[in-house]
A and B are shown apart, each in its own frame.
Chain A
């Protein structure tokens, strides 16, 4: 199987989708001829034509609204928002419209589509290119929210997302587009070529939405992570020697409560991690659900390892980011409690 990075895997997913189904269309700012600022749609316009992969005006509400209208007519749109930080102009179209078309029409109309957006920090992007706004969307009934952590999943989840028939907010951890990240600032970039999940089949396959994966089995504690932090957590377990069980959530809405509960019931100690600011973040939802589900198995308070309640900083990025060392301290805290 070919080695791909996440960008190549996403490109391959969209290639497969365009090839298989004439109703698939892809659009976004700079997504056409130029292939997107991160090149996720590279060469797809050339291959499939102007009306299947095209540039849009810089208007995220227009992009999301157009996706809703196209989906209502039976097309299967994949819309790119250039950075997750720029999704907010589209919030009314996503939160009040896209998510509710099936519900408010009692199934007469649907709005199956995918909204892709590069997401998260660790790239020196400052406050306007580093956000992790997933909790704004996990809070919305009717949306599914997906965050892949590797090339294999990125492709399989994107295909599954579009084929689900319901709207999916697909957040792509841009820090690991080109290689996994161990959470140690300024370490040289590693390649996906040496990672098992960097092997990506060329054709069609899916990774099931709503299913998490235990990426490291362990006994000492459970770590719940998604996106870039899956790799940081793994690096922390290796560096600290703490035998953590690490779960890659992959889908945040709906999240895989079964896999989570099974692990927590085994370890009794939990770290929930997110890059986003702490208050009302997705980690809070996980912590609340775990205490409802596994209260009597818990041996220690659930530890929320998060960004701080500040806008994402530029120069002090690594003071904000949940680094490998912060992970190791969090694991130590819950295992020693």
Chain B
């Protein structure tokens, strides 16, 4: 069929390269319009929230409505700082990847609020099961940047001994679970972890993130079924950044009104929030965390956002979507919006922002120099070769001992 006709429905994106994107058809609920029920309500009370859009920052960058988490300027500046660092770090790492310093990279441009605001709304001890685009959590939790870089360039100080692709971080100390490249596996795991928290009578909860495309995986259903059945204290985040590599979100969503709406069928509290609104992400996460800690079970949060850059360094988005989409995205840029909000409150200005960017750039540049002093993937030093045989089991058996000898290490 070359005439664009199809005998069954195959969703297509609204715009392809060369088109002028116009997102007015999205008809998004205005910031401040969504009511905020008590976090202990029955899931039925979240029906409208699942198809609406929880937003706090309005088009004038004012914080409005019942979901305003009323954060201090200090906390907002901290959030802004983490987001700026995330973006600058990503930019730098992309450049370094292009220079051959690492094998692969994945940026989170445009999605910084999804990770940073959520991490700040959670307790630092809450266990997170992220996907590969929530590096913002690590900055918000204060992970050493040199350590992050050492992982990405797989050098002798990579805490994962060079076993994982770049950005597939693990940081147990920061309650950050090991990231998988297999999509969706973290949802049932997060449910199991959360159940174990409840079993141990601890206040800790779990939170996990997947993308819009991954909701099609069986593990999405597995995770939500577990969470609903056992009322696990877990937060399931669906980062709807509109694109799963080249597939538009509608390939996974089908005719469901929103991704959040999928949670209602499981009897889970379900909310769609503006993922580019730091305050909305914070407020929705805070609501879900409170609900979980009260023993009321899981929440499905859809964070409505836009993947501002390529899926990964192996991807070229100009081949399947207009270059101008991110600029035309009706929910803007999360960093710019929080910045303007703070400026509007007289708590920030362009000079301070420029200075912050300079500081963060300097920090990233300096950190990379230090990271590189511990080696790079291509020039070494790497983790010792024999370490490839470690951690398969608690103790290597005869097969691994012999194979190590065979390799001569």
- Report which A residues bind B (CB closer than 8 A): 25, 51, 56-57, 59, 61-62, 64-70, 72-75, 77, 89, 92-93, 96-97, 101-110, 141-142, 144, 164-166, 210, 254, 257-258
- Report which B residues bind A (CB closer than 8 A): 127, 129, 159-161, 163-164, 168, 170-172, 177-178, 180, 182, 185, 187-197, 199-200, 206, 218-219, 221-223, 225-226, 229, 390-394, 397-399
How far is B223's CA from A109's CA once the two chains are assembled, in angstroms? 20
A210 contacts across to B, CB distance below 8 A = 397
- Find out whether the CB atom of B393 lies under 8 angstroms from the CB atom of A166: yes
A101 contacts across to B, CB distance below 8 A = 178
Chain B residue nearest to A107 in the complex (CB): B391
Which of B161, B171, B195 is close to A70, meaning CB atoms less than 8 Å apart? Answer: B195
What are 6 pairs between A and B in contact, CB < 8 Å?
A66-B189, A72-B196, A89-B218, A103-B163, A106-B160, A106-B170
A59 contacts across to B, CB distance below 8 A = 218, 221-222, 225-226
A56 contacts across to B, CB distance below 8 A = 229
- Find out whether the CB atom of A254 lies under 8 angstroms from the CB atom of B172: no
B394 contacts across to A, CB distance below 8 A = 102, 110, 164-166
- Find out whether the CB atom of B178 lies under 8 angstroms from the CB atom of A108: yes
- Find out whether the CB atom of A96 lies under 8 angstroms from the CB atom of B185: yes
Say yes or no: A97-B189 contact (C-beta < 8 A), given A62-B226, A105-B178: yes
Say yes or no: A109-B177 contact (C-beta < 8 A), given A65-B185, A93-B188: yes
How far is B196's CA from A72's CA once the two chains are assembled, in angstroms? 9
- Find out whether the CB atom of B163 lies under 8 angstroms from the CB atom of A106: yes
Extra pairs beyond A62-B225, A70-B199, A103-B163 (9, CB < 8 Å)? A73-B197, A92-B185, A93-B188, A96-B185, A97-B189, A102-B394, A105-B172, A109-B172, A257-B398
- Find out whether the CB atom of A104 lies under 8 angstroms from the CB atom of B218: no
In angstroms, how far is the closest chain A Cβ from the Cβ of B33?
Answer: 36
How far is B161's CA from A102's CA once the two chains are assembled, in angstroms? 12
In angstroms, how far is the closest chain B Cβ from the Cβ of A68?
Answer: 5
User: How many contacting A-B pairs (Cβ < 8 A)?
Assistant: 142
- Find out whether the CB atom of B172 lies under 8 angstroms from the CB atom of A68: no
B160 contacts across to A, CB distance below 8 A = 104-106
B188 contacts across to A, CB distance below 8 A = 61-62, 64-66, 68-69, 93
In angstroms, how far is the closest chain A Cβ from the Cβ of B151?
Answer: 10
B393 contacts across to A, CB distance below 8 A = 102, 142, 144, 166
Q: Which 8 A-B pairs have the closest CB atoms?
A: A69-B192, A65-B188, A66-B192, A73-B196, A62-B222, A69-B193, A108-B172, A69-B189
A72 contacts across to B, CB distance below 8 A = 127, 177, 189, 192-193, 196
B399 contacts across to A, CB distance below 8 A = 254
A75 contacts across to B, CB distance below 8 A = 196, 199
B189 contacts across to A, CB distance below 8 A = 65-66, 68-69, 72, 93, 97
Which of B170, B180, B191, B206 is close to A97, meaning CB atoms less than 8 Å apart? Answer: B180
Chain A residue nearest to B221 in the complex (CB): A59
How far is B390's CA from A77's CA once the two chains are assembled, in angstroms? 24
A68 contacts across to B, CB distance below 8 A = 188-189, 192
- Find out whether the CB atom of B190 lies under 8 angstroms from the CB atom of A69: yes
In angstroms, how far is the closest chain B Cβ from the Cβ of A169?
Answer: 14
How far is B55's CA from A6's CA once the two chains are assembled, in angstroms? 59
A103 contacts across to B, CB distance below 8 A = 163, 391-392
In angstroms, how far is the closest chain A Cβ from the Cβ of B31?
Answer: 35
In angstroms, how far is the closest chain A Cβ from the Cβ of B382?
Answer: 13
In angstroms, how far is the closest chain A Cβ from the Cβ of B201?
Answer: 11
Residue of B197, B199, B399 with most chain A CB atoms under a 10 A cut-off: B199
Chain A residue nearest to B170 in the complex (CB): A105
In angstroms, how far is the closest chain B Cβ from the Cβ of A168?
Answer: 11
In angstroms, how far is the closest chain A Cβ from the Cβ of B222?
Answer: 4
How far is B161's CA from A254's CA once the two chains are assembled, in angstroms? 24
How far is B80's CA from A7's CA once the two chains are assembled, in angstroms? 60
In angstroms, how far is the closest chain B Cβ from the Cβ of A135?
Answer: 15
How far is B127's CA from A66's CA once the two chains are assembled, in angstroms? 15
B171 contacts across to A, CB distance below 8 A = 108
- Find out whether the CB atom of A92 lies under 8 angstroms from the CB atom of B163: no
How far is B395's CA from A210's CA once the two chains are assembled, in angstroms? 12
How far is B159's CA from A108's CA once the two chains are assembled, in angstroms? 9
A77 contacts across to B, CB distance below 8 A = 192
- Find out whether the CB atom of B178 lies under 8 angstroms from the CB atom of A66: no
- Find out whether the CB atom of A65 lies under 8 angstroms from the CB atom of B159: no
B221 contacts across to A, CB distance below 8 A = 59
A254 contacts across to B, CB distance below 8 A = 397-399
B164 contacts across to A, CB distance below 8 A = 104
A166 contacts across to B, CB distance below 8 A = 393-394
